[in-house]
Chain A
């Protein structure tokens, strides 16, 4: 079952913050976040495992709420290089494969 991402698209000015959500109707083992620029392969950002954890990577962090089966990606003080489409990939326990959301297109303007 494909996870649902929201919003579908967001436009920011450089320096603003953004939150991208990923929700699943199924119990999840892990959530993976990727960023893809046009015509390129997705680039790995981070993994969150069940147990409800948070992770940070420079100005990009994420959380995983196991009770709600929801993960959120936080982008603070956005930079032009953050532009792209963000995908969450969800894994159910024992599945050993990812199902990706429909993507959130992030545009950062100067």
Chain B
């Protein structure tokens, strides 16, 4: 299957600072990337859909000024959590879609964000 990487895998930051998470598709071009958030023992909640070269589409209730998404190329999308607070602590996972028929989503390994 296709490979998606995320960096960093874990990050601890202080309240009020910003954190950038990178999502890369390593062996295919991703026309669309998705950003999810997952709290312990809960489901994957879609935050936004990112298409290369256009503005991200955010789900209802997600603050677009707080969670900045940039899809700079067909292999890279970034999520920046601005002015992070302890309630932003979570597991953030990206997935990439290659555009093939059947459109499997391939997930990155996730980033564990802890805001102190």
Residues of A within 8 A of B (CB): 2, 32, 34, 39-44, 47, 49, 87, 89, 96-103
Contacts and interface: CB of A to CB of B under 8 A. Distances in A.
Nearest to A41: B107
A32 B97 CA distance: 13
B8 interface: no
Interface residues of B, number: 19
Contact of A44 (B1, B34, B43, B44): B1
B106 interface: yes
A98 B102 contact: no
A32 B105 contact: yes
B38 to A, nearest CB: 9
Given A41-B109, A49-B102, 6 more contacts: A32-B104, A34-B107, A47-B103, A89-B105, A97-B46, A102-B42
A40 B43 contact: no
Contacts of A41: 93, 107-110
Given A97-B46, A99-B46, A102-B43, A47 B110 contact: no
Contact of A47 (B1, B43, B44, B102): B102
Contacts of A87: 43-44
Contacts of B45: 100
A96 B32 contact: yes
A40 B106 contact: no
A21 to B, nearest CB: 16
A53 B110 CA distance: 31
Given A100-B44, A102-B43, A44 B32 contact: no
Nearest to A45: B104
Nearest to B97: A96
Contacts of B103: 47, 96
Nearest to B110: A41
B106 to A, nearest CB: 7
B25 interface: no
A41 B92 CA distance: 10
